[in-house]
Structure 1
Amino acid sequence: MINSIIKGSGKYLPNIKIPNDYFLTRKFYDSDGQPLVKSNKDIVATLQKITEIRERRYLEDNLMTSDMAYFAAKEALDSSGIDAESLDYIIVAHNFGDILPDNKRVDICPTIAARVKHKLAIKNPYTVAYDLPFGCPGWVQGMIQANYYIKSGDAKRIMVIGAENLSRISDPHDMDSMIFSDGAGAVILEALEQKEPVGIINHLTRSDTLEHAHLLTMGASYNKDYPDSTLFLKMNGRKLYEYAIKTVPTTLKTCIDRSGIPLERIKKVLIHQANAKMDHNILDRLFHLYGDAPAPAGLMPMSIQELGNNSVATVPILYDMVAKSSMEGHAFLTGEYALFASVGAGMNINAFVYRHP
């Protein structure tokens, strides 16, 4: 049996830390262009209470998304001891490509994956490099695709990267901008021939576009006096929250049930770090579906408090932190199962059950 296991991981966290106080002097407007009535102090306090975000990371002006992806990739290669020339694929999940600080236009020519391969100086022409735009669930989807390649016999080693630079595509006059941050995470998935199933055991993806395709979109600044027509990331937060807590738990349950693994054997849940209140609600609802609630403490490591929501990068960064024992109270143990999951623009939801070799 061919299994897909994680051989190594890496991450890049920008050096610029942005505390909540940073937004106290910001001018915020509603979607109609009217100044918000609440004081910034109250707005920031409410955001922290709901999301638990205390600070986030912003990318340095001299770097771009492809740089973060490269740094994470280099660390993953170093931690695994793998020769980069032996990679069959490099899959980079992102949504906005490289964005200059003073020119907020999407740049994906060449692809971010091609740029990463170039920066790694890989000569092998059969290391196939491509991008995957799939909203926040992009990295999880990349892992699912990589698993298919490996189990089909088409590949033995695949690097899957999630990298995002949301700070440059967020409207400075939209209070939702306080949620977003930057970062990158990478893992190397490797084929392992073994009779006992390990690695990615089962996966599931769904796309709800009929009614929910536009919960995350691009739009002009809420500030009607903004100097140009730059498009920024816009989010229907209330509708998105309602969709997530209704749909994600049932999707995760289906994935778990199809894997044949009892819920109690899953010892870690690595879920997209979008909103702490939402994530806790999703987990409790999942356990409620099994007649078991609330979820036990310590099951779901959280990074959003210090790192914010960096989209496709949140889950691989979270994995790297736990795998390298940099998150107190959390570790991966041989033979234990973990659930990886994400939800985001599209709207897309995906998950996979993973057994640590």
Structure 2
Amino acid sequence: MTIRAVVAGVGHYLPERIVPNSAFEDTLDTSDEWIRSRSGIERRHFAAEGETTSQLAAKAAQAALKDAGLAPDDVDAIIVATSTADLTFPSAATMVQDQIGMTRGFAFDVQAVCAGFIFALSNANAMIISGQARRVMVIGAETFSRIMDWTDRGTCVLFGDGAGALILEAAEGAGTSDDRGILATDLNSDGRFRDLLYVDGGVSTQTTGHLRMQGKEVFRHAVEKLADTAHKALDKAGLSGADVDWIVPHQANLRIIKATAQRMQVPMERVIVTVQDHGNTSAASIPLALSVGKAEGRIKPGDLVVTEAIGGGLAWGAVVIRW
């Protein structure tokens, strides 16, 4: 008998405010066509004044609980992947725990920027297969609109706010690649590339800071590293690109998504793409896309799903899931 971490439910939440590309034309040397052609983004959601990351996360959590038919105290742990937590401490996860009425278990945050959900999912999988928890809710939630430099057209038009949640639960499997649940994970980081994508502020410098990015270099690393980590995770599961039903990538840039799919020899018809509607929501982008993919009837039980992401650090990784 093999214990697998199986998906029990998914959900997401997007702030009400929708910001089209045209909204930037009055303040920046940019246009709808310029943004679309370089990123594939058409619109994004921004949190309202006073609306926090933990609030977005809690609403996504409630949607995932409803999808799974579970109550808050049916969950043993909450892991929130975020780079934009409400406060330095306590964790956004403990705030979500309180907001959804969960009175048991434990909660903590993971910070790996855009790769955060992959790292959190891997941690949740490890806790389930080790017996430390039976059900774990993994949430990606961000309010990147709070750290944008609104004079930098190369970054501020790319990001959006939102949250997605996924609940994993322990189930018995046969120990083969036909099992439902997480089949393999692959995690990586290389701190030598920290200057390619970072925020120029933080607690120890007593500044909030803004996001800074060397776009061309990030693009180059992303295409190479995302395909590589996806192949490594598939190899660990004894599978290949030909077995994949859906790639659900980090939604950063449509050109990166297309190039990665091409390297994996997976047609775009088998890639879930939401970047046009949400922009880059960092750690929230994969669970958002998973939730949308299921809601639209595309991701079905038994489908083999590969998720992959890269973010500041640089940190990157992939997870292979049988839905």
Q: TM-score, normalised by structure 1?
A: 0.84
Contact 2:306/2:318, CA 8 A, preserved across alignment: yes
Following superposition, the deviation at residue 262 of structure 1 comes to 2.8
Counterpart of 1:188, as a letter, is I
Following superposition, the deviation at residue 343 of structure 1 comes to 0.7
Describe the SS at the equivalent of 2:113: coil
Tell me how far apart the structure 1 counterparts of residues 294 and 246 of structure 2 sit (CA, whole Å). 12
Following superposition, the deviation at residue 333 of structure 1 comes to 2.8
Q: State how 1:277-356 maps to structure 2 within 5 Å.
A: 277-287=255-265, 295-325=266-296, 331-356=298-323
| Aligned counterpart, 1:116 | 96
Structure with more helix by fraction = 2
Tell me how far apart the structure 1 counterparts of residues 162 and 225 of structure 2 sit (CA, whole Å). 27
Tell me how far apart the structure 2 counterparts of residues 194 and 253 of structure 1 sit (CA, whole Å). 23
Counterpart of 2:183, as a letter, is I
Tell me how far apart the structure 2 counterparts of residues 339 and 193 of structure 1 sit (CA, whole Å). 21
Describe the SS at the equivalent of 1:108: coil
Tell me how far apart the structure 2 counterparts of residues 343 and 204 of structure 1 sit (CA, whole Å). 12
Tell me how far apart the structure 1 counterparts of residues 103 and 285 of structure 2 sit (CA, whole Å). 30
Following superposition, the deviation at residue 352 of structure 1 comes to 1.0
Among 205, 227, 242, the residue aligned to 2:187: 205
Describe the SS at the equivalent of 1:85: helix
Following superposition, the deviation at residue 51 of structure 1 comes to 0.7
Q: State how 1:1-357 maps to structure 2 within 5 Å.
A: 1-27=2-28, 39-41=29-31, 44-98=32-86, 107-124=87-104, 127-175=105-153, 176-195=155-174, 197-210=179-192, 212-219=193-200, 230-287=208-265, 295-325=266-296, 331-356=298-323
Tell me how far apart the structure 1 counterparts of residues 291 and 89 of structure 2 sit (CA, whole Å). 29
Q: Map Cα deviations across residues 196-254 of structure 1 (whole Å, 9 max, x no partner).
A: 522100110110222x122111238xxxxxxxx75111111111011112222122212
Q: TM-score, normalised by structure 2?
A: 0.93
Counterpart of 1:40, as a letter, is T
Following superposition, the deviation at residue 59 of structure 1 comes to 0.6
Counterpart of 2:269, as a letter, is G
Question: Percent identity among equivalent residues?
Answer: 30
| Aligned counterpart, 1:292 | none
Contact 1:338/1:354, CA 8 A, preserved across alignment: yes
Tell me how far apart the structure 1 counterparts of residues 161 and 231 of structure 2 sit (CA, whole Å). 30
Contact 1:9/1:80, CA 8 A, preserved across alignment: yes
Q: Cα distance 1:230–1:192, how it changes in 2: closer, same or farther (>3 A)? A: closer
Question: Higher Cα Rg: structure 1 or 2?
Answer: 1
Aligned length: 313
Counterpart of 1:204, as a letter, is D
Describe the SS at the equivalent of 1:78: helix
Counterpart of 1:177, as a letter, is C
Tell me how far apart the structure 1 counterparts of residues 4 and 225 of structure 2 sit (CA, whole Å). 29
Contact 1:142/1:160, CA 8 A, preserved across alignment: yes
Tell me how far apart the structure 2 counterparts of residues 188 and 181 of structure 1 sit (CA, whole Å). 23
In structure 2, the gaps of 5 or more residues are 202-206
Tell me how far apart the structure 2 counterparts of residues 296 and 121 of structure 1 sit (CA, whole Å). 43
Q: Map Cα deviations across residues 33-64 of structure 1 (whole Å, 9 max, x no partner).
A: xxxxxx433xx422210211111100111311
Q: Map Cα deviations across residues 271-317 of structure 1 (whole Å, 9 max, x no partner).
A: 00000011101111222xxxxxxx32411111011111110000001
Contact 2:294/2:300, CA 8 A, preserved across alignment: no
Tell me how far apart the structure 2 counterparts of residues 341 and 194 of structure 1 sit (CA, whole Å). 24
What is the root-mean-square deviation in Å for CA atoms of aligned residues? 1.5
